[in-house]
Amino acid sequence: MAEILIADMRRVQPREALGEQPDVGHWFVCPYSAKHFKGYMITVPNGISVPQVRLPLNASGPHEIYIGVYHGHTPFVQDATAGYAGARHFLRLRLSNDACFDTIESEYYSPIKDGFHPEKEFTLNEIMEVHWRDANLTGQALIFANASGEFASHTFASVAYVRLVPLKGDMWQQHQLESPRDDTKRLVATFDGTFYGNYPADEQAIRAYFEPMRDSDFQLVMWATSRLDACYYLSKVGTPLQALPEGYINRRYLLTRDFQTWVRRGIDPLAVAVKAAHDCNLQIYGSMRLQGIDMPPYHQFHGAVTFMTQHPEFWTVAEDGRRMPHVSIAFPEVRQLIMRLFREQVENYDLDGIHLLFNRSYPFVLFEEPVVRDFLAKFGEDPRRVDRMDQRLWGHRSSYVTMLMRELRAMLDEVGAKRRRRLAMAAHVMNSVRNCRYFGMDVGTWVKEGLVDHLIVHPCTSIEELGEKRVMPATIAEFARLTEGTGCRIYADLYPRRLPPEKIRQRVIEYYDAGADGISFWDTYARMWRKSERSMIRIAGHREELGDWAKRASSFWRKVPIESICGISLDPRYGVQTHG
């Protein structure tokens, strides 16, 4: 059976949702001419109300589904001066029997954050085709919608064509080979609570973050539950997120405003997330960032009165007595609060474990009163006057964090015994064992005492130059030696967040060769919508097969040249970039 190309989007229903001229309330139909075919794309701004449209597929059996999208020229000077090649793009779509919408996002790269990837740069006379997913299409249609939420403001949704490739013969064998197995469930997703600025609006929106991980190599999800006592659930120990004043300038303004929908409805988003994860055969851990504050002048955290704002006496303290904007684990009151929050989570929700983010809001111990007092008693010296590289100081500061880890492990064992299962503990740590110790993480003791089940190695601020701003294979080898023969698993946090599929494949192989047990993906929400990359990520647990999949990685996207849109030439020789 040959592949099916659906290039005429005028076939969508209802026809009344389409318009021949751009206007609010309709999808704009644009005829275009590509190098080898002609078609009609549909496009619409995001953030406005337009009907969803339905595209009959008239296909049966399993297929690969590729979506062609055209990003077009940005209509905003700010984007153009920032260096975007075209408009940012968010398209929502689902098959007719799906429970929720998925999203396709444009795949631009920031040279500063992501590096240069010239092979994947595209121009204004190209359609970008991405592999969306594989599915059985018998009796199915595709449903398209534009995106809502402020994160998508000033952006567009478009569909140029749909390409369906039957999974037959060698293609079917490849599909079967990519199916997850017990030994390929090696991937970790981390949701640190940002969600592109808008908190998920409802149950379907939360589920939409988990569904792309169904039938993939993902096993664990670290789901944001709190930043200390500022909670992303209806907590009675901490404070559920409170809204900032109307119009307040803070990057979490929209997040806190959106969360109030859950508060008003009395529905707990953490309970929804736990059910969604388990429905997708994923384990889910409650994830806590140990609270610091945003940089001033926009430093009011979530607009709420929190433990940190109420108790500056529990902040970390520098050698000269200045208070630093982090809570200190050296204080029993801080450790007790962390314990109470995690106990509430594992007792009241069907979580599979807990997760601490030691890669943010550090340092966790400096020169607070208990630290100075205990160091003087143990060593007869004032720690504020010893060299900062003194190993005694490192070990002493680490002892308070290890104390917390022991207390958490004991609590998890207690609750786990009642639930007749082991509740796991995971931690994001820094990019070398030495760097961990300097910032108070004695990972060697944690592993030796069986306190942690998973260590996720993350690129962080270093006390020494460690090469590129990513986790280096040599670092993974160091951690692998530390955990050899134990039950603790090591994961490399794959950075930068945005990489072409082939570079993802190459980097993952490097980590496995260095001894990684699996791969972690920070800000997973920002990776699942970049579909060509997601297509590579979902199979990144196939450690033994990845070496043979270079060609497969390059198949997840392609550029399709187009010659004109709406009868207007896009010939690059004659000034496409300067039209208008």
Q: Output the pLDDT for position 303.
A: 55
CA distance 401 to 406: 9
Average pLDDT, the chain: 91
The edge-to-edge listing of strands for the beta sheet with 90-95 is 53-56, 141-146, 90-95, 102-105
CB burial of 527-555 (b: ≥16 within 10 Å; e: otherwise) equals bbbbbbbbbbbbbbbbbeebeebeebbbb
Q: Kindly state the average pLDDT of the residues 392-398.
A: 97
Q: Output the pLDDT for position 196.
A: 77
Look up residue 271 and give its two tokens: 């309970």
| pLDDT score of 80 more than 70 | no
- Give pLDDT tens digits for 418-456: 999 999 999 999 999 999 999 999 999 999 999 999 999
- Give pLDDT tens digits for 7-42: 999 999 999 999 998 888 899 999 999 989 999 999
CA distance 181 to 282: 13
Q: How far is CA 264 from CA 234, 464, 474, in A?
A: 11, 48, 50
- Give pLDDT tens digits for 276-317: 999 999 999 999 999 776 666 666 655 567 898 899 999 999
Q: Kindly state the average pLDDT of the residues 177-206.
A: 92
Q: Output the pLDDT for position 573.
A: 80
Lowest-pLDDT choice from 24-38, 77-91, 343-357: 77-91
- Give pLDDT tens digits for 114-167: 888 888 887 788 999 999 999 999 999 999 999 987 778 788 899 999 999 999
For 159, residues 6+ apart whose C-beta sits below 8 A from its C-beta are 9, 41, 42, 43, 67, 68, 69, 91, 93, 144
Alpha helices (H) along 349-483: 369-379, 391-419, 433-438, 443-448, 473-483
What sign for the dihedral angle of Cα 456, 461, 463, 469? positive
Q: Kindly state the average pLDDT of the residues 227-242.
A: 94
Q: Output the pLDDT for position 153.
A: 78
Lowest-pLDDT choice from 43-52, 511-520, 549-558: 43-52
CA dihedral in degrees (208, 212, 217, 222; nearest 10)? -30
Q: Output the pLDDT for position 81.
A: 42
- Angular region, 299: left φ>0, alpha ψ -120 to 50, beta rest: alpha
Does 46 or 42 have the greater pLDDT score? 42
557 contacts 532 by C-beta, under 8 angstroms: yes
Does 461 or 61 have the greater pLDDT score? 61
Q: Output the pLDDT for position 60.
A: 96
CA distance 427 to 442: 12
Q: Kindly state the average pLDDT of the residues 193-203.
A: 86
Q: Kindly state the average pLDDT of the residues 327-340.
A: 98
CA distance 292 to 241: 15
pLDDT band at 113 (very low <50, low <70, confident <90, very high): confident
For 311, residues 6+ apart whose C-beta sits below 8 A from its C-beta are 333
Does 568 or 573 have the greater pLDDT score? 568
363 contacts 406 by C-beta, under 8 angstroms: no
Does 471 or 355 have the greater pLDDT score? 355
